A = this chain, B = another copy of it.
Amino acid sequence: MFSKFLNLDQEKQDRIINAAIKEFAQKGYERASTNEIVKEAGISKGLLFHYFGNKKQLFLFLFDYCYEIIAEQFYQKINLDEKDFFTRIRQAVMIKMELLTIYPDLFKFIEEAYMEDSAEVKIEIDKRVKEWNDANFGKAYEGIDFSKFRDDMDIKKVLKIITYTFEKLSEEELLKAKLSPTHHVDYEKVFLEAEDYFEIFTKCFYK
């Protein structure tokens, strides 16, 4: 599919990818300009289309690219020997924060992509997100000692409640950051707040 592009020398690939991610992250799919991308990447107009066919395919390629990098890094850093659920989740939250500071553009891009509602692109993104979630949900919980959980509740639903809560919390923090003048997330505060929720969940869901 993108084999022509992937055969380029790494430096050129990076130039193009970074230029494109930057533009999409800043302006969203619709407003992003392929003109700006080629200018920033220092390549010709025709070449971009030679490699990616059209804007949509470029966008989806980048989405997969970003997702893969982040996922790979994530599973490399996480310690799957840790059996306690909450310790594992705590780890995951910290790693996510770490990656956020290392790859802010990739996260920004992914975040924008999630919210993209250009009909053309949304369905494709949603499909990919679903696939990724299905594939990785199990992985993230690999080796967890679920015997610590109460027996009188559907454990799948319990996990969902926990996951939903942390997802919504981080969405809210990102929104707050966007509306604040500095645009910065106060990670320490977030982490402290998260601890409170861990405590509640432990009380509720552990035996």
Contacts and interface: CB of A to CB of B under 8 A. Distances in A.
A161 B200 contact: yes
Interface string A10-27: 000000000000000011
A117 interface: yes
Interface string A124-152: 00110010000000000000000000001
Question: 8 nearest interchain CB pairs?
Answer: A164-B168, A204-B204, A28-B117, A30-B30, A115-B115, A164-B165, A115-B117, A161-B165
A116 interface: yes
A158 interface: yes
Interface residues of A, number: 36
A178 B28 CA distance: 20
A154 interface: yes
A203 B175 CA distance: 32
B205 A118 contact: no
B119 A157 contact: no
A204 B119 CA distance: 40
A118 B28 contact: yes
